[in-house]
Chain A
Amino acid sequence: MNGVRLQSVDKYFGVVQVIDGVSMEVPQGEFAVFVGPSGCGKSTLLRMIAGLEDTSGGTIEIEGRDVTATEPAKRGVAMVFQSYALYPHLSVFENMAFSLRLARAPKASVIEQVNEAARILKLEEHLDKKPSQLSGGQRQRVAIGRAIVRQPKVFLFDEPLSNLDAELRVQMRLELTRLHRQIGATMIYVTHDQVEAMTLADKIFVLRDGVVQQAGAPLELYDDPVNQFVAGFIGSPAMNFLDATIARRTEGGIVATITGTEGQTLEVRVDGRDPVEGQAVSLGIRPEHLKIGEGGISVTVEMTENLGGVAYLHTRLPDGREVVVERRGERESRTRETISVTANPEDVLVFSNEGQRIR
């Protein structure tokens, strides 16, 4: 069954269109992540699902019910805000009990439900405190607790971890994953951080300028991006893009001359008829797919980032464009060395000048 289903949803602010015909399905119980650069419309889309923004066109369904015109409280959704949005004048207990009190739930069940949420989130000892007495991570948990207490069909998270420090973010990521497994409700999570997207999601929706670029499982997006934008956005450090011209077609592929080098070439596997000889393309290669070996492209190492288990060589082509090479288990610095790098033909992705993938 569908948890959330959007059909050709549009959103205009005045004459500016921020969401352009978005259709998507999030199956019940899945953890979906909307990811994209700031201003891509991901938060607006989430707020439209919550009912905090009205919809200019299209329909939104939650568990089979059309909620496009339903007010927020009756959609069966709960939202966790980036700023937590805790009521500063109420205790942790009252913050979590707020919706139950509004619904005039019996006292005993209020206490029971809040205590249950507090137990799941390990907040029992903080129930009498005010939000201002809590740390950032605890506040975030209270905000999540407030959502849990409502027992929603869909949890919506709007960049919930961006106000936390790096260590806490990793910890909260694990807690969210555990929580999702424990509760089993549909969750939609908005972030600009692709690491969060990769680690949390069952399914990622990459947005840009109000359009879904690609939807799929994290590794699907990583291995098989449909365009240059998705390829560049998913993965850290980002994919290398090399401008190239097709020198000739071969059996099952092409040979491309890399722009900015002295005619050095790479062999690439391509199944279709495109690209044709002489066409200008962009080649995408992930840092971990670049190997040091003879007969490749000459690059000069400018800086080595050694993280212990893995090292990143920041290198430059003769014309100055950057290429990042990942090395595992390499300790000595290669700074200022000129090296030759190459890649397996099947690890190189080809993009047209318009940024579309050519397979």
Chain B
Amino acid sequence: MITNRRKHIAIAMTLIAPFVFIFGLVFLYPTIRVIELSFTDAPLIGSGEWIGLDNYKKLLSDNLFYTSLKNNGYFVLLTVVPTTVIALVIALAVNRLSGRMQALMLAAFFLPYILPVSVVTQIWAWMLDFQFGILQPAIAFFVGERVPVFRHPVWVMPTVATVTIWWTNGFNVLLFIAGLRNIPTELYEAASLDGANRWQLFWKVTWPLLWPVTALVLTLQLILQLKLFDQVYLLSGGGPFNSSYVLLMMVYREAFQLNNGGYASAVALVLFVIIMVVSVLQFQLLRIGGRK
């Protein structure tokens, strides 16, 4: 086909212009401002003095920063791999159902995902209430006594992780179901003619062919769980003794409660860089792992 190259480029530009404009206005510009802000002692509103790397130096000697970082890491460990495994198991089970039953089960698992975070945390706050929570007898049965889970330094993070997995798992199930449906039935038939049992069918066919989806789920989860804020803010407020305090809570407190715009920007930027580096690194590692 004969095309007018200049016209072609002009049309392309026109089509992407609205996106570029909005992206620049609400993402690029604020990002640059935050980077700028992190080198000043500015309050939340208004400008401040240029103080160079002072905010970052302060950060490196801030105990709360290390506590938050450690808690973020702990939360990632508690959620990313478990939620992926659980979603895969549920997807494999749901995939074996057919027709309406499958749709029904899928809807049931997806339902929590459409709830707002405040509703989710309210449900679990009720269920785990120290005095009236319907799950307390179960906890008492296993550990011998009722536990105020959101006010207990050992229990708080695993509990928040459980709530998070319950809330967000449906989406991962959906991704895995889509991935499973993409694997042709003939491959399973060929493998079973080749003598594979159920276990081998999973490890030799399903698992390698599902790997791109698994890598995607792991990466999306990593990014999502590093951005933890709402659940801890609503369930435990970061306590007790900062045992559920995370980086985004620190940003929130420094910016909106202590009016330290510059310092909050520095923390936010550090979190941004961590998320970027870790997720790119993980995705590359997973891709290499999948190619072997």
Closest to A47 in B: B189
Task: Flag whether B242 is at the interface (Cβ < 8 A).
Answer: no
Report how far A77 CA is from B187 CA in the complex, Å. Answer: 16
Whether B190 lies near A102 (C-beta < 8 A) is: no
Task: State the Cβ distance, A17 to closest chain B Cβ, in Å.
Answer: 22
How far is A146 from B192 in the complex, measured between Cα atoms in Å? 13
Please give, as numbers and ranges, the residues of chain B lying within 8 Å of A89 by CB-CB distance: 208-209, 211
Does B69 lie at the interface of the complex (its beta carbon under 8 Å from any beta carbon of A)? no
From A52, which residue of chain B is reached at the shortest CB distance?
B189
Contacts of B195 in A (CB 8 A): 73, 99, 102-103
In angstroms, Cα B190 to Cα A146, docked, is 10
Does B200 lie within 8 Å of A102, measured CB to CB?
Answer: yes
Contacts of A73 in B (CB 8 A): 192-196
> CA of A51 to CA of B192 in the docked complex: distance in angstroms?
10
Answer yes or no: B184 CB below 8 A from chain A CBs.
Answer: yes
Interface string of B157-190 (1 = CB under 8 A from A): 0000000000000000000000000001011011
Q: How far is the CA of A81 from the CA of B211 in the complex (A)?
A: 24
Q: Is B191 an interface residue (CB 8 A)?
A: yes
B34 within 8 A of A: no
- Partner pick for A78 among B193, B200, B204, B211, CB 8 A cutoff: B193
CB-CB under 8 A for A83 and B186, given A99-B194, A102-B195, A150-B194: yes
Closest B residue to A71 by CB, please name it. Answer: B192
Query: Are A72 and B193 in touch, CB under 8 angstroms?
Result: yes
- B105 close to A (CB within 8 Å): no
Q: Interface majority SS on B: helix, strand, loop or mixed? A: helix
- Within 8 Å by CB of A85, from B186, B196, B204, B209, lies B186
B205 interface residue (CB < 8 Å to A): yes
Chain B residue at smallest Cβ distance from A84: B186
Q: Which residue of A lies closest to B196 (CB)?
A: A102
A50 touches B193 (CB 8 A): yes
Q: A88-B209, A89-B208, A102-B200 are in contact. Are A79 and B193 (CB under 8 A)?
A: yes
- Does A312 belong to the interface (CB within 8 Å)? no
Docked complex Cα distance between A167 and B124 (Å): 67
Task: Please measure, in the bound complex, the distance between the C-alpha atom of A79 and the C-alpha atom of B190, giving whole angstroms.
Answer: 7
Which residue of chain B is the closest to A147 with respect to CB atoms? B193
Within 8 A of B (CB), among A76-124: 77-79, 81, 83, 85, 87-89, 98-99, 102-103
Q: How many residues of B contact A (CB 8 A)?
A: 17
Number of A-B contacts (CB under 8 A): 53
Residues of A within 8 A of B196 (CB): 73, 102
B176 shortest CB reach to chain A, Å? 17
- Assuming the A-B contacts A73-B195, A78-B193, are A83 and B208 also in contact, with contact meaning beta carbons closer than 8 angstroms in the complex? no
Task: Report whether A85 and B187 are in contact in the complex, using a CB–CB cutoff of 8 Å.
Answer: yes
| A235-273 CB contacts (< 8 Å) to partner B | none
Kindly state the separation between the CA atoms of A320 and B200 in the bound complex, as whole angstroms: 62
A87 touches B187 (CB 8 A): yes
Nearest chain A residue, comparing its CB with the CB of B211: A89
- Choose one: A77, A83, A88, A103; the contact of B193 (CB below 8 Å): A77
The answer on a CB contact under 8 Å between A85 and B189 is yes
Are B194 and A81 neighbours in the complex by a CB distance under 8 Å?
A: no
Residues of A within 8 A of B194 (CB): 73, 98-99, 102, 146, 150
Compute how far the CA of A85 lies from the CA of B184 in the bound complex, rounded to whole angstroms. Answer: 8
Cα-based distance from A78 to B205 in the complex (angstroms): 18
Contact A85 B208, beta carbon cutoff 8 Å: no
Contact A98 B184 (CB under 8 A): no
Residues on B with C-beta less than 8 A from A103 are: 195
By a CB distance below 8 angstroms, the chain A residues around B190 are: 79, 81, 85, 87, 146
Closest residue on chain B to residue A97 by CB atoms: B194
Residues of B within 8 A of A88 (CB): 209
A residues near B211, Cβ cutoff 8 Å? 89
Which residues does chain A contribute within 8 Å of B184, judged by CB atoms? 83, 85
Q: B60 → chain A, closest Cβ, in Å?
A: 45
A23–B140 Cα gap in the complex (Å)? 67
User: In the assembled complex, which residues on chain A have CB atoms less than 8 Å from the CB atom of B209?
Assistant: 88-89
Q: Which residue of A lies closest to B192 (CB)?
A: A72
Query: Separation in Å of the B214 CB from the closest CB of chain A?
Result: 13
Chain A residues in 8 Å Cβ range of B187: 85, 87
Please name the residue on chain B nearest to A51 by beta carbon. B193
CB atoms of B186 and A81 under 8 A apart: yes
Shortest CB-to-CB span from B205 to chain A, Å, is: 7
CB-based contact B205/A87 at 8 Å = yes
Please give, as numbers and ranges, the residues of chain A lying within 8 Å of B191 by CB-CB distance. Answer: 87, 98
Q: Which residues of A contact B189 (CB under 8 A)?
A: 50, 52, 72, 79, 81, 85
Cβ proximity bits A334-357 to B, threshold 8 Å, 1 near / 0 not: 000000000000000000000000
Binding site for A on B (CB under 8 A): 184, 186-187, 189-196, 200, 204-205, 208-209, 211
- CB-defined A-B contacts under 8 Å, sample of 30: A50-B189, A50-B193, A52-B193, A72-B192, A72-B193, A73-B195, A73-B196, A77-B193, A79-B189, A79-B190, A79-B193, A81-B186, A81-B189, A81-B190, A83-B184, A85-B184, A85-B186, A85-B187, A85-B189, A88-B209, A89-B208, A89-B209, A89-B211, A98-B191, A99-B194, A99-B195, A102-B196, A102-B200, A103-B195, A146-B190
In addition to A72-B192, A98-B191, A98-B194, 20 A-B residue pairs with Cβ atoms within 8 Å of each other are: A51-B193, A73-B192, A73-B194, A73-B196, A79-B189, A79-B190, A79-B193, A81-B186, A81-B189, A83-B186, A85-B184, A85-B187, A87-B190, A87-B204, A88-B209, A89-B209, A89-B211, A98-B204, A99-B194, A150-B194
